């Protein structure tokens, strides 16, 4: 009897992009409409192997109090840089450009990734050698789906960590991101170096405490942690380039 086929492991995408669009208050209804209309368009975009439309917030509590209706994001993992470039002429990008006051675009290459997002591993497996060899700016994406009965405990743990995050030298910007206002929590952060990110992740007491408590608390039904080499940063966030 033949052995069962090994599960297919998808390699890392050639490029991951995060676009953050800032809109005026009068454009919020249009932004909400785009969040509904663009899902199908992104799913059909050539070369986009994984795409998410995301709301944003300041990430200080991960509750609805954080939500920022003036800022929206699009995260895409691409098969090629050419596909990402062609996306610039898409209906999705043109519509957001008409709505927005500013745009930040970050281009990234995966270094390490563990966990799943919607049952998938969108950024491929970890490449330990590339991660060790990388020098220069890095970005981090975290994402978790909370267990409803554990959510209140998780939310109580967030403010001390958020307070530490915004005091760490080397942080260039940080956003809360999510597919829904509650239950789907995530962060995007941009750092000057791997050393700066590690200082926060492994040496700041509040964050270390949360990492240590996570297995026992069982906060997450699904979680993902990924680190990226930053290839490009264009545009602005709050009027400046991070």
> What pLDDT digit, counting tens, does each position of 78-87 carry?
999 999 999 9
Q: Tokens 């050419």, residue?
A: 82
Q: What is the pLDDT of residue 126?
A: 63
For residue 132, pLDDT over 90 is answered with no
For residue 138, pLDDT over 60 is answered with yes
223: pLDDT confidence band, cut at 50, 70 and 90?
Answer: confident
Q: What is the mean pLDDT of residues 85-106?
A: 95
Q: What is the pLDDT of residue 214?
A: 62
The domain made up of 15-233 has a fold known as: Alpha-Beta Plaits (3.30.70)
Least confident window among 122-131, 139-148, 221-230: 122-131
Q: What is the pLDDT of residue 6?
A: 42
Say if residues 97 and 31 touch (Cβ distance below 8 Å).
no
Cα separation of 64 and 59, whole Å?
Answer: 10
Q: What is the pLDDT of residue 159?
A: 58
For residue 102, pLDDT over 50 is answered with yes
Nearest to 49 by CA among 117, 127, 128, 144: 117
pLDDT: is 126 or 232 the higher one?
Answer: 232
**Cβ neighbours of residue 116 closer than 8 Å, sequence gap 6 or more:** 222, 223, 224
Q: What is the pLDDT of residue 150?
A: 64
Model pLDDT for residues 44-64, shown as the tens digit of each residue: 999 999 999 999 987 554 555
Residue 55 tokens read as 């709301």
Q: What is the pLDDT of residue 5?
A: 44
Residue 206 tokens read as 């509040």
Angle, helices 205-217 vs 151-165, to 10°: value is 160
Nearest to 144 by CA among 173, 111, 118: 118
Total residues found in the chain within this entry: 242
Least confident window among 58-62, 201-205, 216-220: 58-62
- Average pLDDT over the chain, rounded to an integer: 83
| 3-state SS string for the chain | CCCCCCCCCCCCCCEEEEEEEEECHHHHHHHHHHHHHHHHHHHCCCCEEEEEEEEEECCCCCCHHHEEEEEEEEEEEECCHHHHHHHHHCHHHHHHHHHEEEEEEEEEEEEEEEECECCECCCCCCCHHHHHHCCCCEEEEEEEEECHHHHHHHHHHHHHHHHHHCCCCCEEEEEEEECCCCCEEEEEEEECCHHHHHHHHHHCHHHHHHHHHHHHHCCEEEEEEEEEEEEEEEECECCECC
For residue 149, pLDDT over 80 is answered with no
pLDDT more than 70, % of the chain? 73
pTM of the model: 0.86
Q: What is the mean pLDDT of residues 82-106?
A: 96
pLDDT: is 230 or 206 the higher one?
Answer: 230
For residue 1, pLDDT over 50 is answered with no
Q: What is the mean pLDDT of residues 143-161?
A: 69
């Amino acid at each position: 009897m033949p052995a069962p086929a090994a599960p297919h492991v998808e390699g890392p995408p050639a490029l991951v992009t995060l676009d953050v669009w800032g809109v005026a208050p009068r454009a919020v209804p249009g932004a909400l409409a785009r969040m509904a209309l663009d899902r199908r368009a992104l799913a059909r975009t050539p070369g986009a192997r994984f795409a998410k439309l995301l709301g944003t917030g300041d990430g200080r509590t991960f509750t609805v109090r954080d939500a920022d209706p003036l800022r929206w994001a699009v995260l895409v993992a691409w098969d090629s840089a050419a596909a990402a470039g062609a996306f610039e002429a898409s209906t999705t990008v043109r519509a957001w450009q008409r709505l927005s006051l500013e745009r930040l675009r970050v281009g990234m290459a995966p270094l390490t990734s563990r966990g799943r997002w919607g049952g998938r591993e969108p950024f491929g497996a970890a490449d330990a050698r590339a991660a060790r060899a990388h020098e220069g700016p890095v970005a981090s994406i975290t994402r978790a789906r909370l267990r409803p009965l554990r959510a209140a405990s998780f939310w109580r743990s967030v403010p001390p960590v958020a307070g530490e995050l915004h005091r760490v030298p080397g942080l260039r910007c940080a956003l809360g991101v999510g597919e829904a206002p509650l239950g789907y929590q995530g962060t995007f952060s941009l750092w000057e170096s791997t050393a700066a990110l590690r200082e926060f992740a492994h040496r700041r007491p509040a964050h270390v405490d949360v990492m240590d408590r996570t297995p026992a608390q069982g906060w997450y039904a699904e979680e993902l942690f990924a680190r990226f080499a930053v290839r490009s940063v264009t545009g602005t966030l709050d009027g400046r380039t991070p």
